Each structure stands twice: as C-alpha cells, then as structure tokens.
Amino acid sequence: QGFQLTHSLGGGTGSGMGTLLISKIREEYPDRIMNTFSVVPSPKVSDTVVEPYNATLSVHQLVENTDETYCIDNEALYDICFRTLKLTTPTYGDLNHLVSATMSGLTQQVSDAKNMMAACDPRHGRYLTVAAVFRGRMSMKEVDEQMLNVQNKNSSYFVEWIPNNVKTAVCDIPPRGLKMAVTFIGNSTAIQELFKRISEQFTAMFRRKAFLHWYTGEGMDEMEFTEAESNMNDLVSEYQQYQDATAEEEEDFGEEAEEEA
C-alpha cells in the first residue's frame, strides 16, 4: 500500500541518504503512498552547524517525492517534556517515546497548541484539512458531534473554501493501557513558521557561502542550493496564499480556469 520513513532533516544521513532512498522508492513504486515522519531542526536544540542546508535540501526533495510529511520538532518535544510531563532533564528516550506514541495513534488533548509536535502555533494559521483517528469504545454519533463542536467553536481556524475538510475514523480497540485515545493530524498554514525559520538560517549562511565546500567537494552544485531555497520560499508563499484565500476568491480561480480551458 505504501511506505513510511522516519528520519532527521538536520544530519547528513537522514537528510541525504533518507531523501535519496525516498526518490529511489518513488521511481520504483510511483503509485504507492509515501509518508515521512521528519524531525526538523530547531534553534534551541542544534547538533550540526549545517542543519539549515541539510533541511532545505531535504524539503526540496520531500515536496517532490512524498504524499504526506509529518513535521516533528525537537524543540516542541522538549517543551512537552518540560511543561506537560514536568521532566527536569528529558533524555532522547523520552523524546522518542513521545514520537512513537504519536506514530501509533496515542496523543491526548488533540487541539492544544502546547501538545503540537512542531514548533509552530496553529492559532497563527488556518487548517486546510484535518483528520482525527479515535481508538476505544465510543459511538460514531458522539465522535461526529464532538468534531462538529470543535469546528463550530473554532471556525476562524478552518478555511471556508474547502468543504467537508474534517475527517474522522474510529477503531474499537483502544491502545494498551488506555480506555480511549485520539490522534489529530492537521495540514495547517501555520507550518510555514517552521519553514520560514529554516529558510532565514539557510539564507544567512548561503549568502556568506559558509561551509559550502563540504557539499561542493562531494560533487554538489551551487545551483542545487539556489533551487532548493527557491522551492522552500515557494512553499511558504503557497501556504500564505491558502491562508489569505476566501471562498469568493476560490470561485474566481475556478471561473478563470474554466475560461482558459
């Protein structure tokens, strides 16, 4: 049915080898779904000086070759450990436990900004599409009512020009150790905050050609960096365009397209 890859965008292996693997799989299986859980760099938790380069080059590939990319941010994971779990010295084991809990459909308080696993605030953007996967014994009617309630209370955070943009699913079997759980997945325009942050760091380094020889020495071309930077900026612009769009504008786009056709 598809492929799921877990990797980091900051280091050389997860970004370079990871995206190469994705592109090769895409060539071999073009009709299969490709999902990635991608750990993105954050300003407070940095392992490598060239993280902005690696992440920007990776996003360039992910835009081309993946269907869904779930952005996970170490900074946001640390915040959950400190604020919600009250851990004084979180380990990588604690961070990995949070990620694995999400991957297996085990998050709670779905729409709380403090529990978002990427360092961007969903209140600063609007949701294009949303999916909520519930696990445990509950009625479909109850689930639908609750999700409708969420939409009505937070209508300003959902774009109006995509109808029926909230999907729900229910699995009767709860996760081990819990009566019920829900995983919330959203495509929010607020994710552009994350890409903007990486883009600014990339531009600051690329302008000075800092550490560029590490990449050109391995056979890469400077043009690849320019192209990746442009692709990242296009992604940010596209999300902003979707955030600002209204239902009327969307109808106009449709009419223009019909006229051109």
Number of domains in the chain: 1
Write phi, then psi, for 197 (nearest 5 degrees): -60, -45
Q: Which residues contact 43 (CB under 8 A, 6 or more apart)?
A: 75, 197, 201
For residue 135, the model assigns a pLDDT of 87
Residue 39: how many other CB atoms lie within 10 Å = 24
For residues 184 and 175, what is the distance between their CA atoms, to the nearest angstrom?
15
pLDDT band at 115 (very low <50, low <70, confident <90, very high): low
- Band (pLDDT 50/70/90 cuts) for residue 3 is very high
CB 77 within 8 A of CB 44: no
Integer angstrom CA distances of residue 146 from 5, 8, 216: 32, 35, 54
| CATH for 114 | 3.40.50.1440
200-211: pLDDT as tens digits: 999 999 999 999
Q: Which amino acid is at 159?
A: V
Query: Is the pTM for the entire model greater than 0.95?
Result: no
Domain with 22 in it:
2-260
Average of per-residue pLDDT values in the chain: 88
Q: Choose among 38, 30, 94: nearest CA to 62.
A: 38
Name, of 73-87, 219-233, 243-257, the range with top average pLDDT.
Answer: 219-233
